[in-house]
Chain A
Amino acid sequence: MLFHSQPFVLGFLPACLAGCFVLGRFVGGTAALAWLLLASLFFYGWWNPPFVLLLLGSIGGNYVLGQHLLRLSRAGRRRAARAWLSGGIAANLTLLAVFKYADFLLHIVAPDAPPLGISLPLAISFFTFQQIMFLADSARQDRSDTGSLTYATFVAFFPHLIAGPIVRPKDIIPQLQQRALAPNADNIADGVMLFLLGLAKKLVLADTFGGFADTGFDAAASGAQLTLFEAWYAVLAYSLQIYFDFSGYSDMAIGLARMLNVRFPLNFASPYQSRNIAEFWRRWHITLGAFLRDYVYIPVGGSRCGTLRNCANLMGTMLLCGLWHGAAWRFVIWGGLHGLYLVAHRHCPFTLPRLLAQALTLLAVIVAWVPFRATGGAAGWSILAGMAGLHGIALPQMIVHALPPLGWIATPVEVLPWLGDARTLSFPEVSACLLLGWGIVLLLPHVHALTDRARTWALTSSFAFSMQAMFFAPHVAPFLYFRF
């Protein structure tokens, strides 16, 4: 079930909230928590019911192991705890590997072998990482005691189950333990506001840019050679799509949790306004970045070692980050590029002026989205070649007529076949949309930094378009991060 689907908004959400609040008021907090768990399992099972058993098995196994780790740590048996922790992490990663990476690994070992065709359980990357955190925190005694119901609700909690934010157990479990599932008008109003603004990001902005990006990337995948503007517009559109899609999802998740009196951490903080790549990773998918920093980068030595080792730690962490996004080389390349950027930034001997630094960071991030989105190496190279102008520069005749000097650099054509709907006015249409999108991400603060008044204006300008997209658009695209 998608957050922006009619069954969720009109059916699941009101029923879930009403059930929680009524049970919390008249029966008790435990009943409300149980209802929330059942609702979350229903939400998860909507997509593929048999995988609910996998989720429950993973929750049960990790809960038992987490409790054991906590007891071992409290008893001072650190070596045993470390051994059990290693085993637990290995078990979780094995589960992830079987479902997500089996075909990828098989293809590396035996390129000609037929694929195993194992279907990927929804959100397995998220709930696996979530539970590895729980195990590690248990071994460090960095969490309080937790009942099985609370733990299961924490992992399966529908606002973050499918695509994060990846939340730390010690931040969320105490909130669930308070059994504070009574309606709170402040939280409901704030939650609804965040949910609606996230909905607008997804339906109004991300899906609009997704259409433009798909046209260009699909054309490149089918062998077409995109000219300069077609290639740049496709990549700029994808950069906006993935930001609005995922940050919109995160805002909706934060809003949903807020309605239930649970506060999630921020996941996006205007990442495209970053002035260097390290800052970008402190603003983009913040909770994944924090997980990788706290549970991978720092444990393997972080920056507390020599230059070479530090570079290796950065590269290793970012390659893992890429691989976490999917079992394909394109994600590894994307992670590798960001690793290289981070290494270069860490050891860069000079400081650039602010605007230049921001532009360079943005350019690096945008270029890295090409292999991430392109469906093959050839398509990726083709897009990059197009961006470099190696496939020529073409512009619609009407633009060249209006601005004749453009004729010196661009070939006038009737329409650009891989831009928007390839109509006469597609060029100004896509240009205007991109201008609006980049204006929002580069000039405005993010939703959580807006004042109440600014949020109200944002809602006023977007709500009708959200309703249009939700109830009348013929096609609703799923969230990009559902695939990860």
Chain B
Amino acid sequence: MDQRGPGERERTMARLVAACAASLLLYFACFAVVLDRPLSFGWLRHEINARLARGAAIEGPKLVILAGSNGPYSHRCEIIGPLLGLPCVNAGVAVGISLDYLVARWRPLLHRGDLVYMPMEEAQYVRERAANALGPDAAIMLRHDRATLARLPPHRWLGALFSYDLRGALMAVIETALAAAGFRDPRAAVDGESNAMGDHIGHTAVLALANASTLQAARPYHPTAAQIRTGYGGVLIARFLDWAHAHGVSVIGGLPTGFDDSPIPDATIAAIRAIYETHGARFLELPNRSRYPRSAFFDTPDHLNQTWQAVHSVAVACGLAPLVAGRQRVIAGNTVCHSKQRSDDAVAVERRTASPVPISQGIASSLRPSQ
């Protein structure tokens, strides 16, 4: 580049600074006001809001299952709620949704006497602060929910302002165009959908066959106890537990579902348990530590297929009952907790795969008379 005169030199510097400033302004304007991701984040927003609406509509004590997608895929309020005699909401949506955002949305709806069950995915405990600040909720808040954003700490504001990377920006353009063209989300056809309680339904063993090779190849990662103890996600969970304890909300921690050929190390489980027990909550560890054969899953280690979702839900309800004041009696009259029949039924249906849906309906309906 040629040497320039003083006037030109000043203009060069000014142009440099102006380009940087304009870049930031355009970026903020685009992502806070103009662009959106109506398909991916729009779907998440819809799912979160539907669950919140269900929670707000319940009067009196309720059970809230709080996790990532392990909540709705592997747990069924439709089964657990009746077994415990509590109205239930499956509040989890996706593991990427930041816990502090979810808690900020749910806190106004949680009251003394409510029960929160948290079978959080291992990844939630070790999630880094930076990743937490850039979850999909950051973009959702920036565009649609600035009231919740205002209630979160300043580093979340900055994270929300800078939540779009190049991929996100391109997807915003693509999704906006697809939505405008009337694109129909194909997920319901291949994944199933959510019911009124927030449970994921329709993720049948038949549909799971399409994911068999992915499930066989999956190699779950288990964080170490030290990672669990120092993870930022664990800090957020501990903060929520302290708040719940102070406000009379009972919390019970739990283990996420996973492959039985990939057990969570004992030390890791102990570290997870310690987070709950040192912050006024209790912890449910099922005899099988929520481990199931790979054939019981839908598409990832966090997602049981619908048949086994029902089996696991019964096990969770039966495990929760003794830990919840006044609920032992409700469940004591139901033989489902004292029988191995439920898993045998599930296995039988799994083998028949032609009609896997009735198992959950069957279990759910068999429970109704004892409510």
Docked complex Cα distance between A460 and B30 (Å): 13
Which A residue sits closest to B8, measured CB to CB?
A186
Contact B190 A474 (CB under 8 A): no
Contact A472 B167 (CB under 8 A): no
A413 within 8 Å of B by Cβ? Answer: yes
Contact B174 A474 (CB under 8 A): no
Contact B170 A432 (CB under 8 A): yes
Nearest chain B CB to A184 CB, angstrom units:
9
Which interface residue of A224, A423, A436, A463 has the most chain B CB atoms within 10 A? A463
By a CB distance below 8 angstroms, the chain A residues around B117 are none
A397 within 8 Å of B by Cβ? Answer: yes
By a CB distance below 8 angstroms, the chain A residues around B162 are 464, 467-468, 471-472
Contact B167 A473 (CB under 8 A): no
A46 within 8 Å of B by Cβ? Answer: no
Contact B130 A472 (CB under 8 A): yes
By a CB distance below 8 angstroms, the chain A residues around B13 are 185, 189
Contact A429 B170 (CB under 8 A): yes
Nearest chain A CB to B236 CB, angstrom units:
15
By a CB distance below 8 angstroms, the chain B residues around A205 are 166
Docked complex Cα distance between A118 and B4 (Å): 51
B165 within 8 Å of A by Cβ? Answer: yes
Contact A436 B170 (CB under 8 A): yes
Contact B169 A472 (CB under 8 A): no
Docked complex Cα distance between A54 and B117 (Å): 58
Which B residue sits closest to A472, measured CB to CB?
B162
A135 within 8 Å of B by Cβ? Answer: no
A1 within 8 Å of B by Cβ? Answer: no
By a CB distance below 8 angstroms, the chain A residues around B165 are 204, 208, 465, 468-469, 473
Docked complex Cα distance between A96 and B13 (Å): 43
Knowing A204-B166, A460-B23, A471-B162, the reply to whether A414 touches B130 (Cβ < 8 A) is: no
Contact A189 B186 (CB under 8 A): no
Which interface residue of B15, B134, B187, B211 has the most chain A CB atoms within 10 A? B15
Which B residue sits closest to A469, measured CB to CB?
B165
B1 within 8 Å of A by Cβ? Answer: yes
A428 within 8 Å of B by Cβ? Answer: yes
Contact B39 A208 (CB under 8 A): no
Contact A459 B19 (CB under 8 A): yes
Which A residue sits closest to B173, measured CB to CB?
A432
Knowing A185-B9, A189-B16, A413-B210, the reply to whether A467 touches B1 (Cβ < 8 A) is: no
> Which chain B residues in 124-149 approach chain A with CB under 8 Å?
128, 130-131, 133-134
Q: Kindly state the interface size class of chain A when it binds its partner.
A: 35 or more
Knowing A413-B210, A414-B190, the reply to whether A429 touches B171 (Cβ < 8 A) is: yes
Nearest chain B CB to A21 CB, angstrom units:
16
> Which chain B residues in 172-194 approach chain A with CB under 8 Å?
173-175, 185-187, 190-191
Which B residue sits closest to A414, measured CB to CB?
B190
Knowing A189-B9, A425-B175, the reply to whether A417 touches B214 (Cβ < 8 A) is: yes
Contact A186 B134 (CB under 8 A): no
By a CB distance below 8 angstroms, the chain A residues around B210 are 413-414
B152 within 8 Å of A by Cβ? Answer: no
By a CB distance below 8 angstroms, the chain B residues around A467 are 24, 162
A228 within 8 Å of B by Cβ? Answer: no
Residue from A192, A414, A464 within 8 A of B16 (CB atoms): A192
Contact A459 B39 (CB under 8 A): no
By a CB distance below 8 angstroms, the chain A residues around B217 are 222, 224, 417
Which B residue sits closest to A430, measured CB to CB?
B167
By a CB distance below 8 angstroms, the chain A residues around B24 are 463-464, 467
Docked complex Cα distance between A464 and B163 (Å): 11
Contact A460 B22 (CB under 8 A): yes
Docked complex Cα distance between A433 and B16 (Å): 27
> Which chain B residues in 1-35 approach chain A with CB under 8 Å?
1, 3-4, 9, 12-13, 15-16, 19-20, 22-24, 26-28
Knowing A414-B190, A467-B162, the reply to whether A186 touches B23 (Cβ < 8 A) is: no
Which B residue sits closest to A464, measured CB to CB?
B27
Contact A429 B174 (CB under 8 A): yes
Contact B186 A398 (CB under 8 A): yes
Knowing A465-B169, A468-B165, the reply to whether A424 touches B27 (Cβ < 8 A) is: no
By a CB distance below 8 angstroms, the chain A residues around B213 are 417
A150 within 8 Å of B by Cβ? Answer: no
- A sample of 14 inter-chain contacts (CB < 8 A) reads A186-B12, A190-B1, A401-B186, A413-B210, A414-B190, A424-B186, A452-B1, A461-B23, A463-B19, A464-B23, A464-B28, A471-B162, A472-B134, A473-B134
